[in-house]
Amino acid sequence: MYTARLFAALLLAVVCLATQEEYDNDILEEGITLTDSQYGSLWPLPQKVQMSTVVFKLSGASFQIVDAKESSSGASCSLLQNAYRRYFEYIFPSARKQGHVKKKTPASAVSELQVWITSADTECDGFPNVTSDESYQLSVDSPVSVLKASTVWGALRGLETFSQLVYEGEYGAKSINRTEISDFPRFAHRGVLLDTSRHFLPIKVILANLEAMAWNKFNVFHWHIVDDPSFPYLSRTFPQLSQQGAFHPYTHVYTPSDVKMIIEFARLRGIRVVPEFDTPGHTQSWGKGQKDLLTPCYSGASPSGSFGPVNPILNTTYEFMSMFFKEVSTVFPDAYIHLGGDEVDFNCWKSNPDIQKFMEQQGFGTDYSKLESLYIQRILDIVSSTNKHYLIWQEVFDNGVKMKADTVIHVWKGNQQQYQDEMSRVTASGYQVLLSTPWYLNRISYGQDWQATYKADPQDFNGTDAQKKLVVGGEACLWGEYVDATNLTPRLWPRASAVAERLWSDKDVRDLNDAYSRLAQHRCRMVQRGIPAEPLFSGYCAYEYKGV
């Protein structure tokens, strides 16, 4: 019914293209013809799906998600036990748990989903990382369905897929088709960047979006936690950074326990938390709580009173950074830290006589990118000494800084031609690369802009197979100039879902009509689960957003 109604709505949307704004029709009509996808509401589309027309029923009173007997995981794995409960509630939103009284199940019903972890090390208590195995096999049959995965990470992805296969049949009964799925991600790094410096995002908003990320099989939360406007990260070593640099020292900060909660919430959903502490530019807010960290800018012969990037010529700078990154490396368990390194403005450095002198001593001439390189080099050394790997924005590569071979370069600039050339160059140099340029979702426009997002492919560039393999994935970025808790969620979803499918599904999954049908249903599912995901076009969801 759910599907059928939606289908009717989509048909209607086609009929009704005559809109109030006649001049917008070109946007609306971009070749989309609406038919139901044979893959129902699956999003992102699994690598291999075989769906039969045989339909089974699921009953809230009898259905259970349980550990398979053969599974290496058991009741002690709270990550999975939590996930079972979560997904049971997604499948049966209104079912009250009345203890499991096992009723007789009709012959054509699925009474159990058995989750079978095959690897001896389930990784239940660990953190996901870039090499985590997220593959799984799902076999939906009556009376028992089986989800097989080598680790808990694959099981989490498979549970999501299972929940997406369930639909409301006639008379509201939960139904599922006999299905065989074999699935794995195309890319290992599938991220969403949120910016908590330009606007502070309350914990609740971050958690809700981590939840939505899991529904879209994203696995990296890139936390752009500090920047020029504010420093909400409460550092135990340097508490004055947020005391002075946050919008408000108590209401607009992330305490150590907040950070811990976010990391654990993410872990339970198979999501890594990669923090970004961007330097030497984008650090105005750092300067408020840490005297002498930033370069004093000069107007003629005297200081102007304003400050530029981090001062790269003082030993105190590196002492500060060593202590600071030592703390960061223990607070954030992920193997990677994002070090930023983008958009360094040289004007202030140029104006400062001490820096001019230093440039002379080092024999840099007037090439300030050499000074930048010197700074970055030392930061990379500091971070390496904490046993962390790093991600870095593309400028650092462009400026020729020497980096460890396992550094990941994050491409964010240029038009299509330019970013594809950059991907070529980075991979030709043997570095791993992450793409974000086509996925700056803070940039909004009128109409169905998810289509352009969906069409971009991170492996579309000139290069050998070996080069293509160096693409670890991509990230949807939601920069915070115009975004806070009031509009973040509907702006991100379902637009980021388009990125999610590009990064998870096979590269040949590109049919816009099929995608529209599945995505419209996927967004209604997100709405039903409580996330205000905005509509793709005219139409309706059986359960509209109620959180006004």
Partner 1 sequence: HINSIVFLLLFIMLSYYLCSFIVLIMFFSLPAVNAVWPMPQLISSSTDRYPLSPRQFIFQYASGSSAKSGCSVIDSAFKRYFPLIFVDYLKKTEKHMYRTFSMQPMLNVYASIHLSFPFSVVDKLSVSSGQASLRAKTVWGALRGNKTIHIRHYFVNKTEIDDFPRFKFRGLLLDTSRHYLPLPAILKTLDAMSYNKFNVFHWHIVDDPSFPYQSSTFPGLSSKGAFHPSTHVYSQTDVSRVISHARLRGIRVLPEFDSPGHTQSWGKGQPGLLTSCYKGSVPSGTFGPVNPAMSSSYQFISRLFKEVASVFPDPYIHLGGDEVDFTCWKSNPEVRGFMQKMGFGTDYTKLESYYMENIINLTKTLNKTSIVWQDVFDNHEKIPEETVLHIWKGSPAQIQQELSDITLAGYRVILSAPWYINHIAYGQDWTTYYNVQPLNFTGSEQQKSLVIGGEVCMWGEYVDATNLSPRLWPRASAAAERLWSDEKTTSSVTDAFPRLTDFRCRLLRRGIQAEPLFVGHCRHEYEGI
- The set of catalytic residues is 343
- When asked if residue 22 is in the footprint of partner 1 (CB under 8 A), the reply is yes
- When asked if residue 497 is in the footprint of partner 1 (CB under 8 A), the reply is no
Q: Is 353 exposed, middle or buried (0-12, 13-18, 19+ CB in 10 A)?
A: exposed
- When asked if residue 199 is in the footprint of partner 1 (CB under 8 A), the reply is yes
Among 184, 460, 490, 514, binds partner 1 (CB under 8 A): 490
Site for partner 1 in 529-548 (CB under 8 A): 530-540, 542, 544-548
- When asked if residue 495 is in the footprint of partner 1 (CB under 8 A), the reply is no
- When asked if residue 491 is in the footprint of partner 1 (CB under 8 A), the reply is yes
Distance of CA 191 to the CA centre of its chain: 3
When computed from its CA atoms, the radius of gyration of the chain, rounded to whole angstroms, is 25
Q: Which amino acid type is present at position 376? A: I
Given the complex with partner 1, which of 16 and 54 has the nearer CB atom?
16
Q: How far is it, in rounded angstroms, from Cα 117 to Cα 149?
A: 5
Q: Is 240 exposed, middle or buried (0-12, 13-18, 19+ CB in 10 A)?
A: middle
* Stretch of 157-165, 295-303, 385-393, 481-489 contacting partner 1, by CB under 8 A: 481-489
Least distance from C-beta 6 to partner 1, angstroms?
10
Least distance from C-beta 520 to partner 1, angstroms?
12
- When asked if residue 33 is in the footprint of partner 1 (CB under 8 A), the reply is no
Nearest to 45 by CA among 530, 441, 458, 521: 521
Q: How far is it, in rounded angstroms, from Cα 31 to Cα 80?
A: 43
- When asked if residue 94 is in the footprint of partner 1 (CB under 8 A), the reply is no
Least distance from C-beta 202 to partner 1, angstroms?
6
Least distance from C-beta 277 to partner 1, angstroms?
19
Given the complex with partner 1, which of 421 and 544 has the nearer CB atom?
544
Give Cα separations from 42 to 165, 366, 457, 523 (angstroms): 7, 56, 20, 11
Half-sphere exposure of 36 (CA within 13 A, CB side): 13
Site for partner 1 in 241-260 (CB under 8 A): 247-248, 251-252
Given the complex with partner 1, which of 54 and 444 has the nearer CB atom?
444
- When asked if residue 16 is in the footprint of partner 1 (CB under 8 A), the reply is yes
Among 144, 481, 499, 522, binds partner 1 (CB under 8 A): 481
Among 7, 21, 437, 508, binds partner 1 (CB under 8 A): 21
Given the complex with partner 1, which of 143 and 202 has the nearer CB atom?
202
Given the complex with partner 1, which of 417 and 445 has the nearer CB atom?
445
- What values do phi and psi take at 95, rounded to 5? -70, 130
Among 60, 126, 143, 202, binds partner 1 (CB under 8 A): 202
Site for partner 1 in 214-233 (CB under 8 A): 229-230
DSSP 8-class letter at 46: P
- When asked if residue 208 is in the footprint of partner 1 (CB under 8 A), the reply is yes
As given in the structure block, the two tokens for residue 478 are 């939601």
Dihedral sign for Cα 33, 39, 41, 43, please: negative
Angle, alpha carbons 322-325-327 (nearest 5°) = 110
Nearest to 338 by CA among 278, 285, 385: 278
Give Cα separations from 397 to 292, 347, 426 (angstroms): 28, 21, 8
Binding site for partner 1 (CB under 8 A): 5, 9, 12-13, 15-16, 18-22, 28, 198-200, 202, 204-205, 208, 229-230, 247-248, 251-252, 442-447, 480-487, 489-491, 527, 530-540, 542, 544-548
